[in-house]
Structure 1
């Protein structure tokens, strides 16, 4: 019997496990920041009709540049963020914002270049860098998880990264970046990249629709900064996590660079149809966003009233603690059918905001586990 040959796996991937939160069949799933409210019947009907129409042409490749979808996304962002000057050519889209980020790293990262962020933050960022052979650098956030602009600007000047990734609201802390800080970072990164070029500053606004009143979007700064990109997703506020549609707004020249590295026909005809059907019903799909904001703030208050530290959040989740053994608390909640996320800074856990019944179950289980 011949021995099986070994595979020529890249050495830096040896022993690694794929990224992903636990997928468990539990009654209360509050671990991956999903919108707990399913699309309403009107949207289901519209999507079904759109898919039926798209299916009739599946023998042909989809629209490679999907300008119709990009125009719809530009119109949505213009209305949602009071942005100016957005059109189809200033929008890019892909299969989730993860793929959008990978396109950024493929276009602007690579061997001999560095990407950086400010920790704690989204745990996929270093994987984008790894997958594109880009060096990864993190600078610490302040004790309250904010970013000190003076320290951040100094570190960017020292590192000279090709790409700077900043989540706002940040995952897993929920903290939003003040627009004044974003503007300062955008100004400071005009010539800090390789060979005197700009560093591409990416503001990841996956949870932007949940931000508190009076918190502007970085989209409003795009006209002043051609090296600024703002990433969004339909997974959260649109209750569309299963559709896999992320997008980005930026200057057309930056968008064109992403078009160079994308795979041909990367957005299927069905994905395009489903996304456009949802955008046509944006108000209806996002009807629950205000309720989620209210329940998030109530969660922060409940946790504080019961002796926990809870971080103010502009997202649809709350980071809370502090625990000597957070895994034991996580396991205790799981034993009671409540799945949350063990992620972020040590001594903390993260809970997604669910329906009122799901939040009641979380409060009850946490009370039992911690002996309140």
Structure 2
């Protein structure tokens, strides 16, 4: 037996992670390129200093104040008020998802999603010994609702994971898709988790699944402060669901899983929500301009409700990715074969991306024409 004695199913695997490279233009992990203002930084620093004076004590394990603040924030996105007992939080939406599968997945149970989708989902299933099942999306990355319902009815998953907007495609789901799958999953007491990590970037007229919570007791809507909130370094993800679901998660959560410092940072950030979210409209406009520019170059581009754009297709996408990197622009080699994903950055960063891609594609055309 090899050392260390890693359990079956994990041997030989590489840990998840996007490349972390020190380059001038980093557009690969869907961060908000606009950092907090000096006033927000000062508020966070004061809050952390206050928390530090009591670090000899454990934090509030129920994070009551934070849940109330998150509920208030979410209530602005739905006509139905969200209450603190409907909210749960953890260290990033990754831990939220893992806790959901720890509580509602496991041996003898199945989690299901529709590819292409977030590459961590099967890892959550693997780590919780949950069977992983995967349907397929249509060519436009939407869902065939009849086929999706048939798959749910056939496989009877305990948890259905539905990102909206989807990562890496940016595709948002219509409310009727969420309702259909909630109803199909409820027939065998399963949950539907709508992952709205990029929900704040959705286009006008695209509702949040939060609006459907009163209709579907088995619906969970997850969010994060890592993207639109510009708090990727703070590691705070959360969900809204029936209070009974939040209560059940307590069985699997680690003791005091949200530190006093994390709670203080998140609360301070929520006090500055209008400011931190103030660049969302600008990022949407930059996203839409990027979609138009890429299509103007004859490329395929997925419609996006997120802060990133999936584009292609390339016979050798790695060569294009490397060519951009050689010119100081880092994007993500992810998604279906032949496609690449670029995060939306500042106007200056997007200009650098366009210049680099124009050069790379021009060079590639020249090389092909002379070969």
TM (normalized to structure 2)? 0.96
Q: Which residue of 2 aligns with 1:316?
A: 307
Does 2:277 align with 1:289?
Answer: no
- Alpha-carbon separation, structure 2, partners of 1:258 and 1:137: 23
Question: What RMSD in Å do the two structures reach over aligned CA positions?
Answer: 1.1
Helix, strand or coil for the counterpart of 1:21?
A: coil
Does 2:261 align with 1:245?
Answer: no
Does 2:86 align with 1:90?
Answer: yes
Q: Is the 8 A contact 1:77 1:83 kept in 2?
A: no
Q: Which residue of 2 aligns with 1:259?
A: 250
Does 2:67 align with 1:70?
Answer: yes
**CA deviation vs aligned residue, 1:261-304 (integer Å, no higher than 9, x gap):** 00000000000000001111100110000000000000000001
Q: Which residue of 1 aligns with 2:359?
A: 368
Q: Which residue of 2 aligns with 1:178?
A: 174
- Alpha-carbon separation, structure 2, partners of 1:234 and 1:368: 35
* CA positional deviation for 1:110: 0.4
- Alpha-carbon separation, structure 2, partners of 1:238 and 1:6: 42
Structure 2 segments unaligned to the other structure (5+ residues)? 366-371
- Alpha-carbon separation, structure 2, partners of 1:7 and 1:321: 41
Helix, strand or coil for the counterpart of 1:369?
A: helix
- Alpha-carbon separation, structure 2, partners of 1:35 and 1:276: 19
Does 2:185 align with 1:189?
Answer: yes
Q: Is the 8 A contact 1:32 1:352 kept in 2?
A: yes
- Alpha-carbon separation, structure 1, partners of 2:308 and 2:352: 16
Q: Which residue of 1 aligns with 2:270?
A: 279
- Alpha-carbon separation, structure 2, partners of 1:73 and 1:6: 44
Q: Which residue of 2 aligns with 1:157?
A: 153
**CA deviation vs aligned residue, 1:81-132 (integer Å, no higher than 9, x gap):** 1241411110000000000000000000000111000000000000000000
Helix, strand or coil for the counterpart of 2:47?
A: helix
Q: Is the 8 A contact 2:59 2:259 kept in 1?
A: yes
Equivalences, count: 363
- Alpha-carbon separation, structure 2, partners of 1:190 and 1:227: 7
Q: Is the 8 A contact 1:121 1:173 kept in 2?
A: yes
**CA deviation vs aligned residue, 1:165-221 (integer Å, no higher than 9, x gap):** 0100000000000112111111221123xxxxx111000000000000000000111
Helix, strand or coil for the counterpart of 2:133?
A: strand
The equivalent position to 2:107 in structure 1, one of 105, 111, 133, is 111
Q: Which residue of 1 aligns with 2:336?
A: 345
- Alpha-carbon separation, structure 1, partners of 2:39 and 2:95: 29
Q: Which residue of 1 aligns with 2:18?
A: 21
- Alpha-carbon separation, structure 2, partners of 1:89 and 1:11: 38
Q: Which residue of 2 aligns with 1:229?
A: 220
Q: Which residue of 1 aligns with 2:198?
A: 207
* CA positional deviation for 1:42: 1.3
Structure 1 segments unaligned to the other structure (5+ residues)? 193-197
Q: Which residue of 2 aligns with 1:195?
A: none
Q: Is the 8 A contact 2:157 2:185 kept in 1?
A: no
Helix, strand or coil for the counterpart of 2:107?
A: coil
* CA positional deviation for 1:30: 0.2
